[in-house]
Structures are given as structure tokens and as C-alpha cells.
Structure 1
Amino acid sequence: MSVSDPSLKELKGLTLKLVQASNQTEINDSNVHLQPFCQSLEHIFQKGLLLQTSSLGFPRSPESWYWLEEIANKASSPSYNYISSVNTVKLSQKVVTAVGKLRHLIRICLVNRCLHVPVEILIRQQQPGIVYNVKNSIIGDDILGEIFLSVLLQCSRLTFNLNVKNCSFLDDTWMLPVCEQLEFVPCKVLGISISFVNGKAIVIGVKENSVAAEDHKIQIGDILDELNGVHITTSTRNKLSKIMKKAANQPVMTNIIKAHCGSDYLYPPIINLLRRCHIDPNEVKSMYLKTKTQTDDQQELKNNSSVLSSGFSVIYVGCITTGSEGDVKQIELAMTALFSGVERISQPGSFEIQEIGVRVVRRDSGDVIVKHSYMEISSCGRTLMYPRYFAYIAGDESCSVAKSFTCFVFHCSDEDLIYKILQSIVLLCIPGQGFQRTHFAV
């Protein structure tokens, strides 16, 4: 075999790119060269394998995982890091095929800086011919095997910071999903409903105002990969309540595989799982984009919090009761009724958008004119008839239980400013949408 094997040449080029990247920072899963680098390693490990025999004496498909595992068990001097890496893969329930185990092992060994260990043992003991066809493999060739080992030794000096828990799809692909480790406050239930497909726990519902719904941390289409350190699969579906109870009064730790890929498209292997759950992938995508837009708007609002909290110049016109109704339709009726009255308040003030509510204070004295929490505000808006006026309706207590509502009306000469005030109130008042379909509740 030529010493310029294209597979080895490709690996050396990718290694050089990782070395250059490591000069600025550690190598993590976001590195664009990592996936092709790992694919190149897999190809070389698999290339030229001889047909192997199982422990029962039957032939089995040639997979490099088997000899890599055997070296950890039988070799005279494998490093502790390598033995530990192999044992981690063997204990993992997230990868079940020999291909998935090899891919998982490659990633763990890169982190533990020991991928060179099994190759070095095989070459130094002059036994590559037992595993590989010398004529069409890299590891089985005397010269190419040494070159490959030197590349692996160079990799052992790099710092790989990879999320090795993100391995549930390695049986199928090297393409990794977005995987988030989330911590929730102690609770009895998370507020999600899940359905199992191919051993994966697909989130099909998120209860409104639940712990899981906070900041849209878990969304429909996501996968509950781990719960309090336990890998969630079909075999654990009847144990979810026990897992939660076992960690009572402690933070709930989860590993969530996101349906989206951090942009406007879904993780491809999840799409078929969604369809089998009777979930439209396009709806999941639409919900994600909607949530992302709301989140971006809220972040912009937060970034401008100093401007918002300093207040906008308005004139408090007055208030009028709307009885037991607090919906947005009452605003036009309330304004018409208020403006038809003979007496109206005309009190200059500063309209402040705060973290927990709104308040209007006199600019001269700082005295509070009106003040309401977002929980009390049921609606806000303006009308075409009075374009320079706006209003919000608030209940006598939290609007979900309030029995009496009042409309508070303000004037502002800047219509763009009115839009900004109303948009801010809407973003801070309206909760996210929930889903009530129940299969397995957590």
C-alpha cells in the first residue's frame, strides 16, 4: 500500500485544522472540523477488518469495537484512562450497536487523551494481522500504522471538551443534536407528557405555567434523554414517578435533546419520530420560530430595561370600570364612555415598565398615580378612533380570579412610543401556550 493513502492524508489535514483551532481555544462540539475528523477516524478503524469470531465461536460482522474492547480486557498494559473509557461505553444504555459503541468510544477517548493506546498496543505487539487485512488496511500496514499512531499521539496533546452524554443518536449518525443539561427547582412534577418511539421519550405536551414551561426550556418535539441521572427509555417509562420521588426536595436534573438544531430547521433523525407520534414537524418548527421571536423580543426588552424603567412621558386621562369583563374589546367601549363624560383627569406623569408590573408617577413629586402588577393586567391596546390614546385593563386582584375590572386611559403624542409601551406590556403579561395531551406525565 502506498504511504500516501487518501484516508490517512485526509485525517492528517483535519488534525492540522484542529491543532490550529486549539491554539485559540479548546475543541468542543461546535468545531466545524470535529465531525469530519471523527468520521475519518471511524473509517480508518473500520478499513480492512477481517471477519471475526464471537465468544460462542460464530462468525460476526467485522467491527473494530470488538477488538478495541478486548484490548481493554486482556492487554497487559492498557492505561487506566483507556480501560475507564471502554467501561463507560459498555455501561451506557444509549448506544446498542457496535457502530454506535465505536463512535462513543472515539469521543470519550479524545476527551481522555487515550485513543492512541489500543493502536499502540496492537502495533507494538506486532498483532495487527490478527485483526486487519495487511493489504488493504491502514492499521495493518507496518508504515501506515506507524503514521496513524503518530497522528493519534498528536491528538492526545489536544484538549477536547465534548459533551459525551450526547450520544443517543450515535447508532444512526455522527451528526449530533443540540443537547442541553437543565436544572429545575425541586418539584413533584415537571409538567411534561411524553410518548415513547424507538426507545426515545418524545415530549408531546408541556403544561402551561409548569416548571418545564418556564422560559420555554422544554418544548414539544424535544426528547427527555435523562432524568436525575437515569437514561429514559421504554424500560423506564413506568418508573418516572419513582425517579422523581427518589430525588424529592432536590433540584431536578435533566438532559434534553432539542428537536431543533439551533436555527430554523429540525434535527433530521427526530423528524420521523415526530411523525410516528402524530406530531406535525412543521408545527414544531413553527412553534420554535414563534418562541424564538418572543425570546428575542424579551431579550431586547431586557437590554432596554434602563430606558423602559426610566419612564415615558404620558398624561393620565382617567379610569372607568368595565364590570366583570376585562378583555381587549372593552377598551374601545371604556374610552368612548370616558371621553363622553364631562370631567376627565389630565395629570402629567411618567409611565414605567418594571420587572413585575407597571406604574405611573408624577414627574414633579414622584407620587404614584396608578400601579398594577402584570398578574392583574388582563388586556391593553388602543383604537383607531383615538390614535394618541392607549389603555390597559386591570382586575381588583389577579386577573384569573378577579371579579371587577377597571380600564386606565393615557395620552401620548408619539404614536411609535405608544406602540412600544403596549408591545412591552404584551410581552411581559401574556404567558406561553400549553398543551394538555397526556401519555406519560413527568
Structure 2
Amino acid sequence: MAGKEPLLSALKGAVLQLREVGGPCTDTSPHLVSLCQRLESILRKGLRQPAWGFRRRDYWHWLEQLPAGTSGRPTPLSMSIQKAGGCERTRTAQGRGRYFLRLALQGKVLAVAVRELAQTPGLLEFYDPESSILGSEGLREPFLSLLLVLTEMDFSLDLQNCSFLDESWLLPVCSTYETVPCRALGMVLRYVEGRVFVTKVLPESQAEVDEVVLAGDILDEINGCSLRYAHSRQAGDILQKLKGQPLIFRLLRWRWHDGQVYEPLLPYLKVLKEKEPHFQLQHSPRHRGEGEPRQLRGGRLLYNLQYLGQTSIGTYGGKEVLEQAIPAVLEGHLAVQEVLFDVKEAEVLVQEKASSKLLCRHPYPTISCVGRCTWSSRIFAFCVASSPESPDGSTFDCLVFASSSEQECEEIVGRIAAGFKHTEWFV
């Protein structure tokens, strides 16, 4: 029977292609979009449209009316429907239906929804029995068989990546950007049809030092607050309320997996270019030169340094102690360790180079000062609170490192300094 219906044959092919790949199906699986498009085509085929009224029916309109169940307790299906209906990033029936399909694939409830439809005559009337698949018992059964095959497959999808489902099945590349509290991030924003674009990353700002955000990227969320359909200044208002707190941004990248511009962005970028004729997409962080021969982790630079050791400096961790602490460490002639130094958005990590063993991690709020040695341009140090929870007050340690060049040393000190605004330089 399935061979007589081209959409079912196409769906069967998409399912087989996904199974052949093996492993969990993710957003980067090459056949996922094709599968979703075929499912949507089947759910739309033969939908009866009302003779009167302005609202055109879509499959979401019967999904949201499915019975919640007889036990009174939420079911996986009812929770998926509720989550899709309450999604702040989708507003259209198309977007919410697509979000539900992604939830249903991961939660393995799509076959349950179709069975519920078949047992609800009032909703089954949404479909013409002559032209639809869901309204025809003879075609609905092979469709259900294919859905049962899907329930045997594992889906690992980023369900927060839904801000473009109103417009496209093609989803953007998403990133999370974490940064410490600061007075000014250094991002210039422009609102374009309910989306918040970064149009410029200011030189020597926190955003530039973090090397994550690029001009052309979209701010989709700040600390869990959605910016989809944002009004003018909404992002600024949220940041003002979060003043003094660590920030977590969800970014939608202008560049897609293939390196080209994410196609659904093109109409927005056209409007943005009209509003700001000098706007240009940023291809890489300004701080990092093209082809720079350093290791990367998650888009961040890793520095190959020598860890010279540390010393306790008592209850005062200001910049003045560096003048005595650095020589004290050097005079101790401690064993030098080769380390990887990672300046993250919210903390500094130090790993043993040979084994990648984590030696220490220091969030910026625990760092009291950072600076270079006065008589050696390649040596720097920073002080950290070693007992911040002590009832008698914090004590501090000074950690000393040697870099490969004066330029690298200055760069590291600058990046750490930008991580906390009470830092002062010592040169």
C-alpha cells in the first residue's frame, strides 16, 4: 500500500538513509531536514481548510486539541504539546508544529499522537479521507509503521535551537557565550524585525577579548531570557537588570556549517545593510590573526607557558605584592612545568601540557591582581584568594608564569585584566 503513495515512499527512503548512518541522529545529520520535511508534507496532505474565517489550518491546530488523557497526569505526548505551545521563540502554527515534531522525534511520541488523532473523530475530520494520508485508514497504517521504526532510533537534538522554525527547517549554528560581570561588554546592537544583531565588536572590549562574538551574529537569549521578537532596547534592559552578574548568551551564528552565510538570514542582512550601509560580516575575532600557530579549544586560544611556581602572600592581594612575590618564587628554584594556559570567558584554567591534567582553575572573582615582572618582559603573575570562605578573611597565593614573548605576555595580562574590572596593571 505504501508504494501507491509517493509521500510514504519518500518518507521510507528518508528513514532508511538515517538508519544507515548509524548512531544518534543529531542536528548535523545530513538527512534530518529531509525527514522532517517529508513528515510535515504527510501531516499537511489533505488538510481541510475552513470555508469561512481567516485562519488557515495547519497540523498544529489539531495537535494542540488532542485529549490530555484520562488519568489526569501529564503524559510524554501532552508535555511535548504543552512545551511547543508555550515556546517563546515560535509564534506561528508552522513554527510550533515544527517544534513539536522535533520534540516528538526525540521523545518518541509522534506515533502516539497519530493514534490519538485516529481515535478522536472530531479531530480526524480535519482531513479529507479521499486525498489525505492521516484521514485514510489504508494509508495511515503504513505511516504508523514507519513512525514505529523512528521510535527505535535515537535522536539527540538541540531543542533550544528553534528560533527560525517559523521560517525554515534549516537551523542555524548555535553557541553559548559566557562572560564575567563587566561595566560594558562592547557589542553594538541593531534590532531587525524582532532579532537582535551584533553589528560591531568594539576594540579592547570584553567581547573582543573573549573572542567569541562576531559582527553579524544574533543574540538569541541572555541568562535564559529569550530575545526572539525583541523590541527596541529589550536586550539593554535585560542587561541592566543583570548588572553585576555573570552573563550567559545564546548566539545564533551568521555562518552556517558549510562556512557560508546561513541562508534564512539573507533577508535580515539585506535590511540591516540598508540601515547601516557600512556594516560588514566579521569572519574571525579581531584579536586573533589568520593562521596564528597556536592551539585552539572551543574557538579560544591556548597558550604554551612555563609554570614557575607559587607562593603564599598573606592576607593582602593587591598589585604591590607582585614586586616581592615574583622574585620569591624565582629564588625558590622550583621545578618548571610546561602547561597549557586557557583564558576562558569566566575563569582561567591551567593544565599540564603532557597529560592535559587540570592543575588549577580560578574564576575571575577570586583573582585580585595581575601584572608583569618589572625586569623580565616574559614573566607575569596573578594573585588568587586561597581561602575565600575563611571567617577570618581571605589569604592569597601568587602564581608565576613565563611566556614565549613579550607580546604574548602583554596579551595574556590584558585578557585576564579585562576579565575583572578592579584589576590594576603593574609594570
- 1:43 partner SS: helix
Query: In 2 relative to 1, CA 147–224 (structure 1 residues): closer, same or farther, beyond 3 Å?
Result: same
Distance 2:59 2:24 in 1: 28
1:7 CA displacement: 1.1
Aligned to 2:385: none
- 1:150 partner SS: helix
Distance 2:378 2:131 in 1: 73
Task: Write the mapping of 1:354-373 to structure 2, written as runs, cut at 5 A.
Answer: 371-373=376-378
Query: In 2 relative to 1, CA 295–103 (structure 1 residues): closer, same or farther, beyond 3 Å?
Result: farther
Aligned to 1:13: 13
Distance 1:94 1:64 in 2: 19
Q: Which has the higher helix share?
A: 1
Distance 1:353 1:264 in 2: 32
Do 1:224 and 1:257's aligned partners in 2 also have CA atoms closer than 8 Å?
Answer: yes
1:168-214 CA distance string (max 9 Å, x none): 11111111111112222233443212111111111112222333223
- Give the counterpart letter for 2:27 in structure 1: D
The yes-or-no answer on 1:151 pairing with 2:149 is: no
Aligned to 2:162: 167
- Give the counterpart letter for 2:154 in structure 1: T
Distance 2:140 2:278 in 1: 46
Aligned to 2:391: none
The yes-or-no answer on 1:31 pairing with 2:29 is: yes
Do 2:198 and 2:219's aligned partners in 1 also have CA atoms closer than 8 Å?
Answer: yes
1:300 CA displacement: 4.5
Distance 1:166 1:3 in 2: 35
User: Given the alignment, which residue of 262, 280, 284 partners 1:283?
Assistant: 280
Task: Write the mapping of 1:403-442 to structure 2, written as runs, cut at 5 A.
Answer: none
- Give the counterpart letter for 2:5 in structure 1: D
User: Given the alignment, which residue of 34, 38, 42 partners 1:40?
Assistant: 38
1:354 CA displacement: 10
Distance 1:429 1:76 in 2: 60
Do 2:26 and 2:155's aligned partners in 1 also have CA atoms closer than 8 Å?
Answer: yes
Query: In 2 relative to 1, CA 69–355 (structure 1 residues): closer, same or farther, beyond 3 Å?
Result: closer
Aligned to 1:379: none
Query: In 2 relative to 1, CA 78–235 (structure 1 residues): closer, same or farther, beyond 3 Å?
Result: same
Distance 1:304 1:256 in 2: 22
Distance 2:287 2:136 in 1: 52
Do 1:110 and 1:156's aligned partners in 2 also have CA atoms closer than 8 Å?
Answer: yes
Aligned to 2:102: 107
1:103 CA displacement: 1.0
1:58-81 CA distance string (max 9 Å, x none): 363231110011115588889622
Query: In 2 relative to 1, CA 94–127 (structure 1 residues): closer, same or farther, beyond 3 Å?
Result: same
More deviation in 210-219 or 136-145? 210-219
The yes-or-no answer on 1:206 pairing with 2:201 is: yes
- 1:40 partner SS: helix
Report which of the two structures shows the higher radius of gyration computed on alpha carbons: 1
Distance 1:304 1:205 in 2: 25
User: Given the alignment, which residue of 107, 110, 113 partners 1:118?
Assistant: 113
Query: In 2 relative to 1, CA 369–182 (structure 1 residues): closer, same or farther, beyond 3 Å?
Result: closer
Distance 2:249 2:132 in 1: 42
1:88 CA displacement: 1.7
More deviation in 158-167 or 12-21? 12-21
Query: In 2 relative to 1, CA 64–251 (structure 1 residues): closer, same or farther, beyond 3 Å?
Result: same
- TM-score, length-scaled by structure 2: 0.65
Q: How many residues align?
A: 327
Distance 1:9 1:69 in 2: 28
Identity %: 28
Distance 1:46 1:249 in 2: 49
Distance 1:264 1:424 in 2: 31
Do 1:203 and 1:223's aligned partners in 2 also have CA atoms closer than 8 Å?
Answer: yes
Do 2:211 and 2:287's aligned partners in 1 also have CA atoms closer than 8 Å?
Answer: no
- TM-score, length-scaled by structure 1: 0.63
- 1:277 partner SS: helix
Task: Write the mapping of 1:225-244 to structure 2, written as runs, cut at 5 A.
Answer: 225-233=220-228, 235-244=230-239
1:50 CA displacement: 0.8
- 1:237 partner SS: coil
Q: What is the aligned-residue RMSD (CA, Å)?
A: 3.9
1:278-300 CA distance string (max 9 Å, x none): 2569931xx30576983652535
